[in-house]
Structure 1
Amino acid sequence: MKSSSSRLILLFFSFTVLLIYNASCEYKTQEVAPVVEKDQSSTTELVAIKTTTPPAIDGSIEAAWATAPMLKLTPTVPDPGNGLFSGYINDKMPTTLRALYDDNTIYFLAEYADNTKSVQVTPWYFNPATKLWAQEGTSKSFDQNGVMTRIGFGEDKIAMLWNIDASTPKFVSQTCYASCHVFTPYLDYSVTPAVQRANATSGNHYTGGINEKIDMWWGHLGRDVIFDQMDDNYQDWAGGPAVTNLTGGNANGRHVDDIVVSGTSTTWPNRPTYTAAKPQGTINNRQSLKLDGTGAAVNVPMWVVPNATNAYYVLASDTLSNRAVKITKVSSTGILSYNGGSIDPTVGTDYQRIGDAVTGGIGPKVIPSYIASPLIDGRADITCKAVHTGSGWVVEYKRALKTKDVLKQDIDFSSLTDQQFGFAVWDQSNNQHAIHTDLVLKFKK
């Protein structure tokens, strides 16, 4: 990983500046104090050192981090045996983690090698052959012979899983595998008699009992860090096998913080129902319109900032002002219309795929796939800053040792006891991720 001597780094604008100028970034040269790192690394233990000089969460590696020993790990994409991770299996993402804490807060520093900054998630582009708007896939595409036909346009991400109050017994031996049921088929009781179905396209998570919960931290390096945040989620049993007799694949126990069980569905698979989350985070920038107003219904972008370049999101605040405009019509030739103007994607390639059909890129004016707004309440517990250095990511984040959570959706570090965890890395993908299990956080008192 890079030392923290003077370097050229890419910093995201603050939210205030983002409200003034649309999706773009600024380069700065930042002077960082020299750090002398000690060779005290581990491959299984992340030792948190108490500090009186907490680091600023700004994506730079300050002198304070020199006191924290490194956890050196190599998250690797596993083979679930169902084809879900095909094309990525055995990909490795060498990573280092460090941790500091003080009386109120715990701080983390993650660094990993990745020479491509992937923040353009499923962008909209115009296909001149079909005369339709489409979105890039989140993962690599392959033909029937396993040959890649298109790179993926997923997001670089990291994640950590924690066993809340030691409530999930299997976490002790399986860590993040304790809730991942991607490996097994399930019984489909929507038909009579019940039929066993393969779990070949998804890997939902759920725990093994109604009182078992896992804290899940999602670091979306292209969206939540716009607002200096990491998404705080949790996993529960979602009804689990005890209710539906599932052995995997159907129950989905991944939820955003603050929502809770509100009841149970009356039809198979009789999963719990949940309260609705408050509007926040990201939503799809998509709508259905009829070609020329009367023809076939097609999907097109909903909002666009006219003439924006290299944009990978539209701010929700922009949709309330005149910076972003709503698309109201689409012609059979692909022209998008809005109040006061139009976008003709057939002039040049600004809105199209460019370069090689397999590994080529996209034009500078392709339209973002999502609308972004800050996380709030329980989802906003984690402050995060991510910087792509050109050869990899530097991700700094912090959270209170004990949050205001009363719903048992957050890990409590305040006792300073050992905590097992799992760590995952996504490289320009959606489902496919590299993982490392059986890690432990220890506090040096």
Structure 2
Amino acid sequence: MKSIKTGIAAVLLSSIAFMSCTHDDTSTYKPVLPGVNQSSDILLVKKFSTAPNFDGDVDEVWGEARPLINKATVTPAGDREITLNPSSGGDLSLEPTDLMNPYTGEAYNYSLRGGHDGQYLYLLFEWEDDTDSKERESWFFNRDTSKWQQENKYANHKNDKFYEDKFGFMFPIKANGSYPEGFEAGTCTVTCHGGLADPKPGEKVTRHYMKNAGELADFWHWKRDRHALAEAVDDGFVQWEDDFGMASANGRKNDDGISPYANNQTFEDTATGMKGPKYVIPNRENYYWIAQSEIDAGTAKAVTAIALDGTITHEGGTIDPNGDPAYSQGFGNKRIPSVIINPGGQGNDGRSEVQVKAKHTGTGWQIEIRRLLSTGDPKDAEFKIGETLPFGLAIFNNAAIAHGQTNFLTMKIE
């Protein structure tokens, strides 16, 4: 077994890192249904009298489950060493010093319940969030430069938040009867390593990978826009990386299966050198993704040229953004999505087997999650009746990487 060099700190991030989080100031959040007692750190998973309907509604049977009530807090992640947004042009002064700013200090109250029917694990995850965040790096027209560009992925300030809501869970995977070194005491913090060397453009200096070769953790990552049709998480895992200590060492991988999304970027006009989205839906307003079925049906049009003044030629017509505020930065209602989505594997492959039914109620998210207690896949955590396992979770509120987190949680399965 290789052991990681001691000089590498376990701080936070990648797209879901987890730092220390205490329970000194836990949440008073009230879930949709009252529960029997509550806990701030132990998720009790008992067998239901009747399994809930897996539809995103909160059935009465969820009242049998004891809620875990807590808050997920965004904590500092350390100084940036390179710029992350292309719009910054390499000027680090244009981006906030700490990687988690301008979200640092935000806290998201939540309730988590669990149960099983002898075959499936069910989770009901509710958290406070007044806004269903669907904005994600939309294409807009910059009238000052006459160029198309995207909203920043990483917010530079509080009015620069253009991303989707997300959540994540991390569970350890046993090897030879043992959890990964340090996971029982530190949960997700042991997978997160900071101060990594030699970052290239777009690489973060904090990454997830396991502490030792051969260790694995199960990683579930739900993305509001990208999973709108798939109704699943990206079921993946975290592994050891041979280039540990380097910014290139990204141990986060997806399980085998169909990707439910692709980027709507970038078309480049070879004659003018102008760049923009690959597909548009002419005259559509307030849209945040393009479905692959809309491309196949011809509703979404392929971009074929972009003139020097930014005018887009597409299959069947043109879009002239000049003088039209509908394509402007921030709130233009005809800005063009950055993502193309499809239904994915629909629970029939490893990547989509953690299924999700999500509803935004107007005041928060109400999410049912279902997965087999045991999938037989060595890259998946096993939820054994009668056992306990440590885990951590994170909530991303309109954020690409800045996330509220709660670590040092325990699932007890009865």
TM-score bracket relative to the smaller structure: 0.7 to 0.9
Structure-2 separation of matches of 1:308 and 1:390: 24
Q: Of 328, 334, 356, which residue of structure 2 is paired with 1:384?
A: 356
Q: Is the 8 A contact 2:274 2:307 kept in 1?
A: no
Given candidates 50, 65, 69, the residue that maps to 1:68 is: 65
1:289 to 257, 264, 268: 268
**Residue 319 (structure 1) aligns with:** 295
Instruction: Provide the residue aligned with 1:270 in structure 2.
Output: none
Residue pair 1:120, 1:155 contacting (<8 A) in 2 also? yes
Partners of 2:76 and 2:218 lie apart in 1 by 24
| Distance in 1 of aligned mates of 2:385 and 2:399 | 36
Unaligned runs of 5+ in 1: 5-34, 143-147, 189-195, 259-277, 354-360
Deviations 1:16-66 (A, max 9, x none): xxxxxxxxxxxxxxxxxxx5x234110010001211322223222110110
In 2, Cα distance between the equivalents of 1:3 and 1:175?
25
Cα distance in 1 between the residues matched to 2:286 and 2:122: 32
Q: Could you say which structure has the higher strand fraction?
A: 1
Q: Is 1:252 equivalent to 2:242 in the alignment?
A: no
Corresponding residue of 1:412: 382
Judge conservation of contact 2:52–2:59 (CA < 8 Å) in 1.
yes
Q: Secondary structure at the match of 2:188?
A: helix
1:368 aligns with 2:337: yes
Secondary structure, aligned partner of 1:226: coil
Return the letter of the residue paired with 2:238: Q
Distance 1:400 1:234 in 2: 16
User: Hey, what's the Cα distance between the residues in 1 that align with 2:229 and 2:264?
Assistant: 17
Please say if 1:176 is aligned against 2:188. yes
Contact conserved, 1:422 with 1:435, CA < 8 A, in 2?
Answer: yes
The answer as to whether partners of 2:383 and 2:413 remain within 8 angstroms in 1 is no
* C-alpha displacement of 1:97: 0.2
Distance 1:436 1:318, change over 3 A: same
Q: CA deviation at 1:438?
A: 0.4
**Letter in structure 2 aligned against 1:401:** L
Check the 8 A contact 1:209/1:240 in 2, yes or no.
Answer: no
In the TM superposition, residue 304 of structure 1 has moved relative to its aligned partner by 1.6
> Is the Cα contact below 8 Å between 2:193 and 2:209 reproduced in 1?
yes
1:404 is displaced (CA, Å) by 4.0
- In the aligned structure 2, how far is the partner of 1:43 from the partner of 1:106? 20
Q: TM-score, normalised by structure 2?
A: 0.82
Measure the CA separation in 2 of the matches of 1:303 and 1:333.
19
Gaps of 5+ in 2: 1-28, 80-97
Quote the Cα distance in structure 2 between the aligned partners of 1:225 and 1:415: 32
Question: 2:330 aligned with 1:330, yes or no?
Answer: no
**Partner SS state of residue 72, structure 2:** coil
Q: Note if 1:231 corresponds to 2:248.
A: no
- Measured after TM superposition, the shift of residue 240 of structure 1 is 5.2
Matched, 1:156 2:171: no
The partner residue of 1:305 within 281, 284, 293 is: 281
SS at structure 2 position matched to 1:167: coil
Structure 1 residue 299, shift from structure 2 partner: 2.4
Large movers: runs of 4+ above 6 Å: none
Partner amino acid for 1:168?
A: P
- The aligned counterpart of 1:13 is none
Report the equivalent of 1:99. Answer: 114
In the TM superposition, what are the counterparts of 1:335-354 in structure 2 within 5 Å?
A: 335-353=311-329
- For residues 309-343 of structure 1, give each alpha carbon's deviation from its aligned partner in whole angstroms, at most 9, with x where no partner exists: 22111112222221111000011121111121111
2:154 & 2:63 partners in 1: Cα distance?
Answer: 37
Match status 1:211 vs 2:211: no
- Identify the range of structure 1 (48-57 vs 130-139) with the bigger mean alpha-carbon deviation: 48-57
CA shift in 2, pair 1:364/1:57, >3 Å:
farther
- Cα distance between partner residues in 2 of 1:77 and 1:97: 18
1:55 counterpart residue number: 52
Deviates more, 1:85-94 or 1:321-330: 85-94
Displacement of 1:3 in angstroms is 6.1
Query: Paired residue for 1:396?
Result: 368
Show the 5 A alignment for 1:106-185. Answer: 106-142=121-157, 148=158, 150-165=159-174, 166-182=178-194, 184-185=195-196
How far is 1:257 from its partner? 0.6
CA contact (8 A) 1:225 1:384 kept: no
1:360-411, Cα deviation, whole Å (9 max, x unpaired)? x422221110111233311011110111111111111110111142xx2100
Is 1:436 the counterpart of 2:406? The answer is yes
State the identity as a percent: 30
CA drift of 1:170 comes to 1.4
- Aligned position for 1:29: none
Deviations 1:196-229 (A, max 9, x none): 99x9944210002221000000111222133221
Note if contact 2:394-2:403 (Cα within 8 Å) is conserved in structure 1. yes
Q: Could you say what secondary structure the match of 2:362 adopts?
A: coil
Amino acid at match of 2:271: T
Q: 1:250 to 1:340 in 2, by over 3 A?
A: closer
Do the aligned residues in 1 keep the contact of 2:36 with 2:65 (CA within 8 Å)?
no
* Residues 387-439 of structure 1: per-residue CA shift (max 9 Å, x gap): 1111111111110111142xx21001134410110010101111111111100
The whole-number CA distance in structure 2 between the counterparts of 1:227 and 1:203 is 29
1:268 counterpart residue number: none
One-letter amino acid matched to 1:308? R
CA distance in 1, matches of 2:44, 2:357: 21
**Residues 2 and 303 from structure 1, CA distance in 2 versus in 1: closer, same or farther, beyond 3 angstroms?**
farther
Q: Determine helix, strand or coil for the equivalent of 1:333.
A: coil
Residues paired across the two proteins, number: 361
Deviates further, 429-438 or 372-381:
372-381
TM-score normalised by L of structure 1: 0.77
8 Å CA contact 1:385, 1:397 repeated in 2 = yes
